[in-house]
Amino acid sequence: MIRTRFAPSPTGALHIGGLRTALFSYLFAKQNNGEFFLRIEDTDKARSKKEWETVIFENLKELSISWDNEAPRQSERGEIYKKYLLKMLEEGTAYYCFCTKEELDEERASLMKLEKAPIHQGKYRDFGLESALERIEKGEKPVIRFKCPKDQDVIFNDLIRGEIKINTSDIGDFIIAKDLDNPLYNITCAIDDAEMGITHVIRGEEHIPNTPKQILLEEALGFEKITFAHLSLILGKDKKKLSKREGSTAVSIYLEEGYLPEAIINFIAFLGWNPGTEKEIYSMEELIKDFSIKKISKSGAVFNIDKLDWINGIYIRNMDIDKLTLKCLPFLENKEGIDNKKIVLALKDRLKKISDIKELSLYLYEDEIKYDKELLFWKDMRNEEVKESLKKALNLIENIEEFNKENLQEKLTITAKESDSVGGFMWPLRVALSGQKASLGPAEIMEIIGKKESLKRIIQAINII
């Protein structure tokens, strides 16, 4: 059975790139009737926080990415790692290294000067476990390094990129643990993937350099082979790895601003993947069905918020009106006599994200709207003409009993067509009702704010001219 995993570090919010990794891992597992696991990589005790873990869980749930296991925390698996570390030390596939940080910094600097890769040369590689233990006895605190085979090609077949080959001389004896109780990323990752029975690791491209290390560790420990797939990075407008400078990278922010989970999933899925047809609107079920890891593109994709806006707009427009209203409520005011559902219905076509409705609906709630009187003038109308036009509207509206937008629109249209110009009648009225350069139509506004408020606003406009 195929089993994938998503292994975030709870050192920050769920990142857009992390979400895509999780989504693709999820889709790949599900379409193969496999399992999708979660694992919390919190070996960095200083930076890991329980709060972030909670945020990650909740974001994933909200986005309908569900996992099949009880997500283990690496911080609670110390004994397991220790067992493997001891085994490697005894078998000689790992060794204690007594180099100081200063020594290592120096080594790195001098290698860089020679324009060589700063690979650790393995001073204590053949020091021997016995002698090492003696020094530890005396109180020295060594780190544990992997004894990397010399000059050997590590080859793996990446599902997305094909064959990747890296020579061990470009890797060196990397540190696998600070000490027996503090293992580092590569070793915990290799051990957990093996123990969890992970068959396919789908992750970001930045992990390509880690892959041969993990494969080497896999071999040293006698684990099953894992298949890897490395996703290209999501880039910002500057074509660099997406960073906070360009809007947010945190999924939670998008959720809060009112990007719908379905839209986010749809958009993210299409960042670097497409079905090869012209269909662009995809539900999670459809994604599971049509997703193909082979069709993932190899180059980085720029995160284009305009396209997210467009997709989100489509989802908003297609959403059930009651559900949409519920989503909008946090961004709307509460005013006696005003039906927020009507506002949502009237405004939903112009929303790119749910939070937009706040700004767009403000004038509907205000007790006294303020605007520049010049705004009331349609083209080159004179004072008297505007006043006349508004009075005509006032008379008409005063006599309308059935105050819904269809009826209002009908009556307004008749009068407008009898007037000198349709715009000359409609524009001042709309501005009188909204105080805005751009707004809903007069009939829509009146239905929402009601007859009394409508008349009040028209009279106010007549008075300021």
Partner RNA sequence: GGCCCUAUCGUCUAACGGUUAGGACAUCAGGUUUUCAACCUGGCAAUCGGGGUUCGAUUCCCCGUGGGGUCACCA
Contacts with RNA in 100-159 (CB under 7 A)?
Answer: 100-101, 104, 108, 112, 115-119, 143
User: Shortest approach of RNA to residue 153 CB, angstroms?
Assistant: 9
Which is nearer to RNA, 117 or 326 (by Cβ)? 117
Q: How many other CB atoms are there within 10 angstroms of residue 127's CB atom? A: 16
Task: Tell me 77's DSSP state.
Answer: -
Residue 408 near RNA by CB under 7 A: no
Report CA Rg, the chain: 32
Q: How many other CB atoms are there within 10 angstroms of residue 165's CB atom? A: 9
Q: DSSP characters for 138-198?
A: TT---EEEE-PPSS-EEEEEETTTEEEEEEGGGT-S-EEESSTT-B-HHHHHHHHHHHTT-
Stretch that binds RNA, among 215-223, 306-314, 331-339, 389-397 (CB under 7 A): 306-314
Residue 44 near RNA by CB under 7 A: yes
CA separation for the pair 124, 59 (Å, rounded) = 46
User: Shortest approach of RNA to residue 383 CB, angstroms?
Assistant: 18
Least Cα distance to 261 among 250, 270, 252, 272 occurs for 252
User: Shortest approach of RNA to residue 124 CB, angstroms?
Assistant: 12
SS3 16: helix
Which is nearer to RNA, 196 or 422 (by Cβ)? 422
User: Shortest approach of RNA to residue 58 CB, angstroms?
Assistant: 19
User: Shortest approach of RNA to residue 166 CB, angstroms?
Assistant: 5
Among 397, 441, 449, 458, binds RNA (CB under 7 A): 441
Do residues 4 and 200 make contact, with C-beta atoms less than 8 angstroms apart? yes
CA separation for the pair 403, 396 (Å, rounded) = 12
Of residues 219 through 278, those in contact with RNA by CB under 7 A are 232-233, 235, 238-241, 270-272, 274, 276, 278
CA separation for the pair 462, 397 (Å, rounded) = 14
Q: Which two tokens stand for residue 6?
A: 């998503």
User: Shortest approach of RNA to residue 318 CB, angstroms?
Assistant: 10
Q: Which two tokens stand for residue 413?
A: 């249209």
Chain-centroid distance, C-alpha 386: 50
- Cα angle for residues 210, 215, 217 (degrees, 5° grid): 95
Do residues 265 and 251 make contact, with C-beta atoms less than 8 angstroms apart? no
Which is nearer to RNA, 34 or 415 (by Cβ)? 415
User: Shortest approach of RNA to residue 279 CB, angstroms?
Assistant: 9
**Amino acid, single-letter form, for residue 107:** E
Q: Beta strands 3-6 and 35-38: pairing type?
A: parallel
Which is nearer to RNA, 34 or 303 (by Cβ)? 303
Among 430, 447, 453, 457, binds RNA (CB under 7 A): 430
Q: Which two tokens stand for residue 404?
A: 């819904």
Stretch that binds RNA, among 25-33, 217-225, 400-408, 422-430 (CB under 7 A): 422-430
SS3 366: coil
* Terminal alpha carbon distance of the chain: 77
Q: Which two tokens stand for residue 448?
A: 């929402």
Q: How many other CB atoms are there within 10 angstroms of residue 76's CB atom? A: 10
Do residues 156 and 211 make contact, with C-beta atoms less than 8 angstroms apart? yes
Stretch that binds RNA, among 49-57, 80-88, 97-105, 390-398 (CB under 7 A): 97-105
Stretch that binds RNA, among 52-60, 251-259, 309-317, 388-396 (CB under 7 A): 309-317
Which is nearer to RNA, 21 or 34 (by Cβ)? 21
CA separation for the pair 200, 187 (Å, rounded) = 17
Residue 435 near RNA by CB under 7 A: no
Residue 310 near RNA by CB under 7 A: yes
Residue 301 near RNA by CB under 7 A: yes
Stretch that binds RNA, among 57-65, 318-326, 393-401, 434-442 (CB under 7 A): 434-442
Which is nearer to RNA, 7 or 220 (by Cβ)? 7
Site map for RNA, 369-388, x if CB under 7 A?
---------x----------
User: Shortest approach of RNA to residue 192 CB, angstroms?
Assistant: 10
Among 341, 439, 450, 456, binds RNA (CB under 7 A): 439
Which is nearer to RNA, 36 or 156 (by Cβ)? 156
Residue 451 near RNA by CB under 7 A: no
Which is nearer to RNA, 37 or 270 (by Cβ)? 270
Stretch that binds RNA, among 30-38, 59-67, 313-321, 456-464 (CB under 7 A): 313-321
CA separation for the pair 86, 177 (Å, rounded) = 11
Residue 458 near RNA by CB under 7 A: no
Contacts of 62 (CB under 8 A, 6+ apart): 255, 261
Of residues 63 through 92, those in contact with RNA by CB under 7 A are none
